Structure 1
């Protein structure tokens, strides 16, 4: 069930009623809690610290609740410095574990110091300081640690928490085992609530345990909320439990609201992250797919004209040179040969320049050869270098 149980389950034995009666008599002699501690504002912190330490040490619930109760009573009587409060908390945990657990379950000093370091507690415990504090605590409680807490009663009440005649949402219960398992979780949930607020110390421990069972039945929608069998077992009627149950249910509703708010905040954060990722993806896509400012068709004409002009000038100069140096005694064949050479040169040069306006593949080759090649941005993985720069790759690189 996720918690340590006592090996001897007295609530199932023949002496259960007698043990319960003895515990009820002892709680009548418990000292009155006045809530006069000057460090009462730090109580919640030290209660959480004891809860964490007892959980790490695998202590039973009765040891944890006894340690909390010893700390509450001691703080209520004395003005203790913050540093001494740490030593007092560890000493209360040790005494409670020695009283409720077997010897092999009692935490060792080295283990406690390691846990204190993990909990960011800037206190190194020594054996001498712990022994001195343990002696002071035992003297303060007259060497009597047989102090009943709500955890001492809860299992006895849970044993009869659900009956065969109970209804769940108006229907008969089909599986008592499953319902009792959920009932136990709810009851310990409310029991842990009771140690977080010192206001519950004004109630008797047995009443807190009974109210935890009744509040669990209400939350699980088990009717009736309080049965005659439970009233006979606990010696508490609905009127006795009403105030304590109301406080527990208020804490329960606040806890649900807080959990719901945390869930909404987490959901909103995830949604904002998704929106930012989508916007970032869209911006990246626009950068990669935006229309290039380079217009090859517009720049190609200027390039071709620049290329065609030198060719025409070369042809004209060659023709003029032939006409200027041609002798009058040239044979007709020589003249024809020279003219043939000129015609051949003009035919070999001019068509290339003239067809550049018509033949698109040739024009594209000339344009790409004379102009700087534009590149496509290539993104490696899902990010860009420096978040804005892309790695260039050649358009037609092999």
Structure 2
């Protein structure tokens, strides 16, 4: 993992283009798993574990992606197997996306209340075997873009000096507005993990929609700026359906 975040580097635009190319090759999620009804529960477990281990959002989102697509392709028939695959996905994703000193040890994972309360323990042999199975299932390619890979790049252009609040007054402190918008955007980013409906959209669309939904919540005008359209290549029309889905829980 690079010391400098890619979205702050000189080649950020090139990295973004490469991620956009890679997302076009992602497999279609078919929602065929017989254990799909348990998905929300295991996503919550992965979220809690990643938070406990202070993993980066990219690792968390990659872990959920691996779990979803593995379940979609292979017959994971028991709860024990699903626990094993879920934890293995998280550890594998953390090794790929996070700093080496942030990668949790198996003992650390096993000792959490989250797993001990479920009376689940993963052995090293089970972990190694499942990690190998996962790597083979994904052809040893874990460079799989998720919305978390795009969000910070789009946040660079999320607030402008020309923004107005409530369609009238200019924003008084763009820095504070940007901090608040970032919190909203990361909230929406986590919302996208909860429902597999977001696989209908490309990851970059979901990330851009998180920014758009955040601007709407903060009542920033316009809802989508020229800078955001330039950096993402998306218009508000491209994002409207995804934004609507993101905002539904807030307006129930």
TM tier relative to shorter chain: over 0.9
Task: Indicate conservation of the 8 Å contact 1:59/1:101, yes or no.
Answer: yes
Q: How far apart, CA to CA, are the structure 2 residues paired with 1:117 and 1:47?
A: 12
Quote the residue 1:335 is aligned against: none
Give unmatched runs, 5+ long, in structure 2: none
* Number of the residue aligned with 2:150: 153
- In structure 2, the CA distance between the partners of 1:130 and 1:116, relative to structure 1 (3 Å rule), is farther
In the superposition, the TM-score normalised over structure 2's length comes to 0.96
Residue 124 of structure 1 deviates from its aligned partner by 1.4
Q: CA deviation at 1:102?
A: 2.1
The Cα offsets for residues 333-369 of structure 1, whole Å up to 9 and x where unpaired, read as: xxxxxxxxxxxxxxxxxxxxxxxxxxxxxxxxxxxxx
Runs of 4+ with deviation above 4 angstroms? 116-119
Shift in alpha-carbon separation, 1:119–1:151, aligned structure 2, 3 A: farther
- RMSD of Structure 2 on Structure 1 (CA): 1.2
The residue number in structure 2 matching 1:168 is 165
Per-residue deviation, 1:117:
5.6
Question: 2: CA distance between counterparts of 1:174 and 1:126?
Answer: 55
Q: Give ranges in structure 1 of 5+ residues lacking alignment.
A: 1-5, 255-398
Give 1:8's aligned residue. 4
Cα distance in 2 for partners of 1:53, 1:65 equals 12
Determine if contact 2:64/2:89 at 8 Å carries over to the other structure.
yes
Q: Secondary structure in 2 aligned to 1:195? A: coil
1:93 and 2:76 correspond: no
Partner of 2:46: 50
> Does the aligned pair in 1 maintain the 2:115–2:121 contact within 8 Å?
no
Q: Is the 8 A contact 1:193 1:248 kept in 2?
A: yes
Alignment-derived partner of residue 59 in structure 2: 63
Kept in 2, the 8 Å contact 1:116–1:123? The answer is: no
SS in 2 for 1:124: coil
Which residue does 1:181 correspond to in 2?
A: 179
- Give the 5 Å matches for 1:259-338: none
Partner of 1:222: 220
Residues 82-137 of structure 1 deviation map (CA, whole Å, 9 limit, x = unaligned): 11000000100011000011222111111111115665121111000000000000
Return the offset for 1:56: 0.3
Aligned counterpart for 1:79 among listed residues 70, 75, 79: 75
- Give the TM-score, by structure 1 length: 0.61
Q: Which residue of 2 aligns with 1:191?
A: 189
Aligned to 2:21: 25
Q: Look up the match of 1:253.
A: 251
Deviations 1:218-272 (CA, angstroms, capped at 9, x unpaired): 0000000011221111111111111101111112223xxxxxxxxxxxxxxxxxx
Tell whether the 8 Å contact from 2:213 to 2:243 is kept in structure 1 after alignment. yes
2:126 counterpart of 1:129: yes
Specify the SS of the correspondent of 2:31. Answer: coil
Q: Give the Å deviation of 1:73.
A: 0.3
Larger Rg over CA atoms: 1
Aligned residues: 249
Of 130, 140, 144, which residue of structure 2 is paired with 1:143?
140
